[in-house]
Chains A and B, each alone.
Chain A
Amino acid sequence: MNPFFKRLTFFLFILVCLYSSVSYLIDNVQAWNPVLITNDGVYDWDERLSALRADLPSDVKVVGYVSDWDVLPEYDYPNNETEYVLTQYTMAPVIVARNDEQEWLIVNLAPRDFKTWAATQPVDIEIIKYPLGLFLVHKP
């Protein structure tokens, strides 16, 4: 290969590398959002579940979890999955099993959907309601 061509390729290679690095910087500068420094959503989820965590008896090691994907024919899977993951992350070291077979259940449903789900459950379940469609259910 002609040495000049090799040198030209070397310069072009470095230029593309620099272009890639600078593009990455520009993308991140444009995405800058100072709110995210202290809260990327996980904090909100921790706050949302804090009262529920306090109400759950300390000897409970496993709770069940019910959400849209257990009740609605159509649901937003990524959103359901993220909320479930964040719930487990917040509740650790309590295991949040993905079923309704446990004595204690976290139910993450809009109030109307919760009514539909509760209608399928035994009448003697105890329900503690929290804001934003969150329920702690105890099956005696």
Chain B
Amino acid sequence: MNYLLGFLVYLPAVLAGGLLVHGLWHGSQPGRLLFKFGLGIGLGLGLTSLITFLILLLTNRLIGFMAIQFTLLACGLVLTWRNWKNNPLIPERFTFTRLQKTILGVFVLALLVTASAYAIYAVMTPTGRFDAWMIYNRTARFIYRDPANWQNTLSPELYWLFHADYPLLVPVNVAGAWNILGSEIMRAPQAQSAYFLLGIFCLLMGAIAHLRTAGQSFLAGIALLAVPVFYYTAAREEADIAVAFFILATLAFLFLYNNDRKPVLIAFAGLTAGLAAWTKNEGLLFLLTGSFAWIILLYRQGQLRGLKWYALGLALPLAVIVYFKLFLTPPNDLFDTAGSAGLLERLTNFERYPAIAWYFFRQIFDFGNGKFSILLIAIYGMIAGLDKSDNRRQPVLAASVAVLLQLMGYFLVYALSPHDIDWHLRTSMYRLMVHVFPAMLFLFFVSVTDPETIFVTEQKPSISRHF
């Protein structure tokens, strides 16, 4: 029952996000609709968090959480209603080939297996795990239990372990949900994480279905279902799933814009990059790397003026995060005690570099659960080969640069870390990989040969006519 309440309390935001995206970005191809629904989850929850935070900041009261969601929902409904003739919310007709039906069957089977595993783990994790107690739900408790003094959660007196400087997308929504539900129902944060997890699937599979083929989309879904770390991270109520969502969305928009050339897609990308920054400090790094990818794309297309749309989407989350970081939060634990000389000393302590590089290298084999790994994906890619169809002119370079810079940024953060490096790597590396893995999977499946081509017996028609 509590789980159901947890899902219901966020449902208006989730639906609102999907309807708003649909209203602003027309098209009813099945893959696109799936992507729009997924995107709506993050945008709805992100906007709700931003607006609830602004009200909290201005009034020191935790109010309006449901009103915000229903207002957004009403806007989405009006927009959809007004555009119904040109842009109905009904998927275009499509048919699957026998091969696609077979891969879909395998996907459904894998989905049932992994969803059961997730459900068992989630049920046995009623209050989340360490990071939830330490950061997200702790912050939510500070806000929910004493909204008048909510800024105590940002106090420098809190020990560094509690990361008082972390952005508040997740905790504000958790506190808002508890306020509506009348008590600290721990299934609410778990439901929020589950929504983001669902959103990642919809983004990944929807974008690949739209850009490539249905079979490739199902295959990407099967691959993501094989990586347990996503499911226990979600059940543990950690915010890393939300960061992964926004990174994937921002980079997928590079490809969708490359196809559609609609300015609204650039604005959505600005918004998702900003929401990544409103979720975790690692999202702040992505705000730089993801924005750089967009500059590369628009520069290569000679459309740098399109950045104004990016700035438009980014404006609200960026304004909030800048105010939050400049005027409200204590310094980050990585930088507060050292000063610039200390940071330089750590950065030039090259003894730590091999240990960090070794941990990164091990992710090729270890990320996943020892059965499914990045190595397996690489081998599959080498044998399947790159896509040679007319879809191959995609902004893979720009997106890859963003992922690579993100990983390099994480490497430098470890190099700057004042903490025991082995402890720091052991306890956080898998979560950093969670951030970028869905985007890496997307880049991979958008680039390699699809099953329809592998099993082709005659000339294959273009994907966009398929799905």
Contact = CB atoms under 8 A, between A and B. Distances in A.
- A pairs with B: yes
Nearest to A31: B124
Contacts of B226: 16-18, 20-21
B127 interface: yes
A27 to B, nearest CB: 8
B133 A20 contact: no
Contact of B384 (A6, A17, A86, A93): A6
B126 A36 contact: yes
B152 A18 contact: no
A37 B117 contact: no
Which range holds the interface residue count of chain A? 35 or more
A24 B152 contact: no
A18 B106 contact: yes
B152 A95 contact: yes
Interface stretch (B23-31, B58-66, B135-143): B135-143
Contacts of B127: 40, 42-43
A86 B162 CA distance: 11
B379 to A, nearest CB: 8
Interface residues of B, number: 54
A1 B383 contact: yes
Interface in B101-155: 106, 109-110, 113-114, 116-117, 120-121, 123-127, 130, 133-134, 137-138, 141-142, 145-146, 149, 152-153, 155
A16 B114 contact: no
Chain B contact residues: helix, strand, loop or mixed? helix
Nearest to B124: A36
Chain A contact residues: helix, strand, loop or mixed? helix
Interface string A87-111: 0110011011110000000000000
Contact of B130 (A14, A37, A62, A85): A85
Contacts of B228: 20, 24, 27
A18 B161 contact: no
B133 A86 contact: yes
B270 interface: no
A62 B157 CA distance: 8
B101 to A, nearest CB: 15
Contacts of A97: 157-159
A43 to B, nearest CB: 8
Contacts of B227: 20
A40 B126 contact: yes
A37 B142 contact: no
B371 A23 contact: yes
A81 interface: yes
A84 B113 CA distance: 37
A10 B159 CA distance: 50
B231 A32 contact: no
A93 B153 contact: yes
A48 B30 CA distance: 53
A25 B369 contact: no
Nearest to A92: B141
Name, among A13, A38, A84, the residue most crowded by chain B CB atoms within 10 Å (CB to CB). Answer: A13
Interface of B: 106, 109-110, 113-114, 116-117, 120-121, 123-127, 130, 133-134, 137-138, 141-142, 145-146, 149, 152-153, 155, 157-159, 161-162, 219, 222-223, 225-228, 231, 368-369, 371-372, 376, 379-380, 383-385, 449, 451, 454-455
Leading 7 A-B pairs by shortest Cβ distance: A20-B372, A17-B226, A92-B141, A20-B226, A25-B117, A20-B371, A36-B124
18 contacts: A1-B385, A6-B385, A13-B376, A16-B371, A17-B226, A18-B109, A20-B368, A21-B113, A24-B114, A31-B121, A38-B126, A62-B157, A85-B161, A92-B145, A93-B149, A95-B152, A95-B155, A95-B157
